[in-house]
Structure 1
Amino acid sequence: MGSRITNFASLIALGIAIAAAPVRAAGPEDARFEAIYKAEWSWRQAQHEADEDDGDTISAHLPDVGPAAQAARLARWTATSQALAGIDPARLSPANQTNLAVYRYQIEALLAAQRFRDYERPLNADTSFWGNLAGVAQASFRTAQDYRNYLTMLGEMPRYFDQQIANMRAGLARGFTPPQVTLQGRDTTVTPVTDAPTPEANRFYAPFKAMPATIPAAEQAALRAEARRVIADKVVPAHKALLQFLRNDYIPHAQTALGAYALPDGKAYYQSKIFEFTTLRATPAEIHATGLREVARIRGEMLAVMRAVQFQGDLPAFLAHLRSDPQFYAKTPQDLLNRAAWIAKTFDGKAARYFGHLPRSRFAIKPVPDDIAPFYTSGRGGPGVYLVNTYNLPARPLYSLPALTLHESAPGHAFQMPLAMEHKDLPGFRAEYISAYGEGWALYCEKLGDEMGMYDTPYDRFGMLSYQMWRAARLVVDTGIHTMGWSRAQAQAYLHENTALADHEIETEVDRYIAWPGQALSYYLGEMAIVDGRARAERALGPKFNIRAFHDAVLELGSVPLPVLQTRIDRFIAEGGKGPYPDEE
């Protein structure tokens, strides 16, 4: 463990610095800083009033992603960055020292994405601007105004899609697209809209099928009539134009090279993505080496489990056995959903022993929609929902389901993210998701499952180790693809040889890494920050260490860069292991 901590500490040392200033009350510097972030945050929210990733917001408008708006964003974040350079952390209150560290990271990441014109690539292997919009139809509609806002938003689709297509054309012209191989078949995610036989059969009509009884019948009828008109006149034509563009122009002429280094200013671009997704200043070579070390370490643990079940053969043979034996797979989609629900409920019975403060929000368990399931990950969680992919059941092993559920539902994403949203005393920008923290926490929850007794069989525990290996291997694969010239087949083979993932999932995952540079790095580096921080706290505090207090201290932060997390753990140790809530003693 000691060398692992040293290795991670060297990465953290490359992260953003946090001032070690004496405790002081709020003063003039605090007022200057707060004026900067409050003005920018208010503006940022207005810019993304109808952020297509927010399925719980029913806005009357879609974002403006045209040239003037993009130029305005570049100018605003440049000015904000310059203003922050004049803020002295040592003159801020402790709370604002943390806020400044988080906010500086956000602005730097936003500004870099704008400078590299990320908006010219508004899609990757499993997500897209049009696919994200479909989620708005699944939001909770409560009032007639919600429906009117929704109809106005649908009416803006032609303008919004035209702007996105124009951005994609600009990216295409300069060789800034996802690699062509990752786009094959993605046009079929548009056809459920274009091929719906009637407006009522269109996915965007779904909210009108069962409307709240509080809306008078006559008004319901009028809203439904308007929905049929807008879907026929605006929504379907916008999607048809997109489909034609994808099939005739974008996919056939997308770049064929896989690595980020092949993109315009690719080395700098990939380094910016490392910072965005890991919050660290580490180099690709350092991350690749960390991945190789961790893959070797986890492989040893996997071999120990293989010996414990007395499997006669080597690791490749054991992996082949896990991928092919019917006992490890659900018979029906509902079987898979039922097992996921059982695992989630089992955690509920253990939660109070490991967490002092629980979120008020609950979550539903739903299957991934059929039209995106073939390209989607095995599961995904967030506020209010845990999506389980029931497509291709032979690719969804039950031995991995406990780890997946802990990661995506509780105490992972559907637990941590609502807690962050419930921290009303934090500035609004602190609710923004930071991948290294959020994914690191969720991966830590998989490991925590071992301690909580969530893995009933050695195979379940092997599934957890396979998932740990999967995320460690991402450090090797992502840097290999984007900086070392790895091929798609080489990356797939590496995951096939080192994890128990089904080949279908390996293919979709590798395509995701190819099309989304750097994102895959966030998981394991984030987990390492929590695991190593906890080990440091346990050594320093000895019998005073309280697991509930530690988890609450980590979770009360919201979503923060990893150096901010390390600073909070240092304070947890300095305060004798005291948690943020009084009932933890």
Structure 2
Amino acid sequence: MIGSTCRTLLRFLAIACFIGSAFAAPAAQADAAKAALDRLLAEHWEWQMREAPEWATMVGDHRYDDRLADRSPAALERQLAETRAFLKRLEAEVQPARLNDDDRVTYDVFVHHLRTGAEELSFPATATMVLSNKAGLHLDFPQLVQMMPFRTERDYRNYLARLRALPGAVDRNLEAMRLGLRIGWVTFRASLEKVPRQIDTLLVKDVTSSPLYQPLRQLPPELPAPVREALAAEARQTLEQTVAPALRRLREFVVNEYLPHSPVDGSIKRYPGGEAYYAFRVRQQTTTDLTPAQIHATGQAEVQRLRAEMEALMRSTGHRGDFASFVKWLNSDPRFMLRDANELLMRYRDIAKRVDAELPRQFAQLPRLPYGIRAIPAHEGPETPEYYTPGAADGSRAGWFNANGLALKRRPTWEMEALFLHEAVPGHHLQTARALELDKLPMLRRSGFYVAYGEGWALYAETLGGALGVYTDPYARFGQLRMEIYRAARLVVDTGIHVFGWSRQQAIDWMSERTGMRREEVAAEVDRYFVWPAQALGYKIGQLHIAGLRDRMRAALGSCFDIRRFHMAVLDQGALPLAVLDQWMARWLAQERELTKASCPTGSGTVSTAER
């Protein structure tokens, strides 16, 4: 899972397009159409950096590190008009028939994103649903701090400017939520009830113990002592006199004005215009035209298949009890429990060494950008799941797998391998780092993200554990299946809640009975689906799509199918909507057939158990 700040910023991605030319066009085809396309792409990127300075920080563009985005309702109205203007110009100034195949794909994806972005901005939820226990200023700002550079006095001055900008961001949030109160778009209660406690982690008596003071505890010794002292003093004053009052104001609003009007039933169909919004979210998050009914049925079938595999694996261990007793044993036996956070980190680092050594068997090229493994900050709490923080395009910041070393009884060792494969390599880090290094693509394309592609790839990466040799016992393999089955269950539960009238309790009961997850874990999962409708659909839909492409390519190429080349083909165009990925893979298949037609028969490929 991508971290909270990343998710909030990626929401802005749906407003803007991050797709550039796939390859430099031959000189003969570098005509006015391509020039116009490139010009609009470059202009759009610069617009986005100005509009989303947090996103600029994330990708390594530090020109706007002293600013926070304006996400007020008025600003979103302006962004809607500007997005529509970009789309109008694109359709008027670029003649797609004159583009080569690669640029035509870029054009089609650009149109897709501008249309999707404009559609998202037209829904009231975009302007009003700005705060929950999963995302919001109180969570995003501390994670943003982790992505800022802190090497020079200017870096620290930028941070102080962002701290001073925080009250304005709070006020814009309050404006958005008050609009939501007026028009009936208020965050689901079970999620909102957790927000005051989250804000409290930033409201500490001694500001030097605040997570927001962390950069000032590590001032570079190269800075003159008077400068270090002045920066630290200014930070303390700003946190005490500017930031803390703003956060208290936000907390008081949530408790006194917002929570009393929050709905107990958070199904989107209960909101004004909610059915249309959910239909849009399904299209946006899956990048397909699948209907909720089709997705629901797919989830039912996948849950049934995976549960059968889990029970067969359970029997292979010699366990004599039922499924529930097996899961209870896995969650309590001392052999699967860790002593402390240091042991957790050491174990993850051992997994990393084993996986890194095996990656060349599955990938023809590996990214240069390194990744690290670290504990999440304590203020994020025991309920925060592990997540990935992307590196910077200029290589100045590594990618990070953030592991939660709190409440270790909730984190048995048998699920660690699959979790690592998802968040680090060959999952999020390998995919995003590889995209950042595709220097023939513009930054828009290199830093793009789609849930169905990015999370679908990360879930697919979990299934590579057999081929990578990390599922060395049936318990680790069971952990992989358990992680996959709850992604499949999401297809059923998310659509059940928002389309088919399921209650929260019904969703919790159904998911608990089938997945082997603890009820408290399931409750947190279900509440997530209320807060981010349809977002959870992208994982399993994307994974099934990528696995299906692999199987079709193998069947078509027979003995000439090379899994290493297939994986690079999926990765080396950057993130794509699934329909565009299909177009690209059809072209790749034709190229592979041409390259191998003299030496390989086709149609005789099979899929090994290790690759499933």
Quote the offset at 1:39 in angstroms.
Answer: 2.0
Aligned equivalent of 1:530: 546
Determine the structure 2 residue equivalent to 1:417: 432
> What is the CA-CA distance between 1:61 and the residue it aligns to?
0.8
Counterpart of 2:134 in 1: which secondary structure? coil
Q: Distance in 2 between matches of 1:482 and 1:242?
A: 29
Question: Which deviates the most, 388-397 or 374-383?
Answer: 374-383
Work out the CA distance in 1 between the residues paired with 2:436 and 2:181. 37
The answer as to 2:142 corresponding to 1:142 is: no
Contact 1:437 1:559 in 2 (8 A): yes
Counterparts in 2 of 1:253 and 1:578: CA distance versus 1, 3 Å:
farther
Tell me if structure 2 keeps the 8 A contact 1:124–1:516: no
Superposed displacement of residue 206, structure 1:
1.2
User: Kindly tell me: are residues 289 and 544 of structure 1, through their superposed partners in 2, closer, same or farther at Cα, counting changes over 3 Å?
Assistant: same
Code of the residue aligned with 1:185 in structure 2: it is K
Query: Given the alignment, which residue of 69, 83, 88 partners 1:82?
Result: 88
1:126 equivalent among 123, 126, 134: 134
> Does 1:25 pair with 2:41?
no
**Deviation of residue 53 (structure 1)?**
8.5
Per the alignment, residue 72 of structure 2 pairs with: 66
Residue in 2 that maps onto 1:306: 314
Classify the secondary structure of the residue corresponding to 1:209: helix
Q: Are the structure 2 counterparts of residues 238 and 96 from structure 1 closer, same or farther at C-alpha, using a change threshold of 3 Å?
A: same
Spell out the pairing of 1:101-120 with structure 2 (5 A cutoff): 101-117=108-124, 118-120=126-128
Displacement after TM superposition at 1:445 (Å): 0.5
* 1:501 CA displacement: 2.5
**1:193 corresponds to:** 202
What residue number does 1:10 align with? Answer: none
1:44 aligns with 2:60: no
Alignment match, 1:6: none
1:34 equivalent to 2:38? Answer yes
> What is the one-letter code of the residue matched to 2:589?
I
Q: For the aligned residues, what is the CA RMSD? A: 2.2
SS at match of 1:387: strand
Q: 1:331 aligns with which of 326, 339, 342?
A: 339
Structure 1 residue 373 corresponds to structure 2 residue 389: no
Q: Percent identity?
A: 36
- The answer for unaligned runs of 5 or more in structure 2 is 1-24, 392-398, 596-612
1:79: how far off? 2.0
47-56 or 535-544: bigger deviation = 47-56
Change in CA separation of 1:75 and 1:158 when aligned onto 2, cut-off 3 Å: same
| 8 Å contact kept, 2:49–2:56 | no
1:212 alignment partner, one of 175, 199, 220: 220
Q: CA deviation at 1:398?
A: 1.3
Distance in 1 (CA, whole Å) between partners of 2:439 and 2:208 is: 40
* Bigger Cα displacement from structure 2, 394-403 vs 212-221: 212-221
1:433–1:248 Cα change, 3 Å? same
Distance 1:419 1:171 in 2: 40
Residue 469, structure 1, aligned to residue 498, structure 2: no
CA deviation digits over 1:532-552, x for unaligned, max 9?
A: 101111111112111111111
- Distance in 1, Cα, partners of 2:86 & 2:551: 38
Q: Is 1:222 aligned with 2:230?
A: yes
Specify whether residues 53 and 238 from structure 1 end up closer, same or farther in structure 2 by C-alpha distance, changes over 3 A only.
Answer: farther
1:393 maps to which residue?
Answer: 408
1:498 alignment counterpart: 514
Contact preservation (8 Å) 1:27, 1:93 = no
Shift of 1:63: 1.0
- What is the aligned partner in structure 1 of residue 3 from structure 2? none
| Bigger mean CA offset, 216-225 vs 553-562 | 216-225
Q: Deviations over 1:368-423 (max 9, x none)?
A: 22232344224445331111122322221211110000000111112211211222
Instruction: Note the C-alpha offset of 1:498.
Output: 1.8
Q: Which residue of 1 aligns with 2:163?
A: 154
Task: Give the alignment's TM-score, normalised by structure 1.
Answer: 0.91
Amino acid at match of 1:536: R
Distance 1:497 1:53, change over 3 A: farther
CA distance in 2, matches of 1:524, 1:119: 28
**Which of 233, 236, 243 does residue 235 from structure 1 map onto?**
243
Of the structure 1 ranges 166-175 and 474-483, higher mean CA displacement relative to structure 2 is found in: 166-175
Quote how far apart the aligned CAs of 1:335 are.
2.1
Aligned to 1:171: 180
Q: Compute the displacement of 1:164 (Å).
A: 1.1
Question: What is the rounded CA distance, in whole Å, between the counterparts of 1:25 and 1:421 in structure 2?
Answer: 26
CA gap of 1:65–1:529, structure 2 versus 1, over 3 A, is same
CA distance in 2, matches of 1:381, 1:50: 14
In structure 1, stretches of 5+ residues that fail to align are 1-21, 580-585
Q: Residue 274 of structure 1 aligns with which residue?
A: 282
Deviations 1:413-464 (A, max 9, x none): 1221121122222122211211111001100100011222210110110111
Answer yes or no: is the 8 Å Cα contact 1:120–1:171 preserved in 2.
yes
> Deviation digits for residues 261-316 of structure 1, max 9, x if unmatched?
11221111011111221111211111111111111121221122112112213333
2 CA distance for matches of 1:132 and 1:36? Answer: 30
Contact 1:332 1:393 (C-alpha < 8 Å) held by counterparts? yes
SS of equivalent to 2:367: coil
Q: Distance in 1 between matches of 2:184 and 2:56?
A: 25
SS at match of 2:181: helix
Relative to the length of structure 2, the TM-score reads: 0.87
CA contact (8 A) 1:381 1:409 kept: no
Q: Which deviates more from structure 2 when the two are superposed, residues 243-252 or residues 513-522?
A: 243-252
Structure 1 residues 88 and 124, CA gap change in structure 2 (3 angstroms): farther
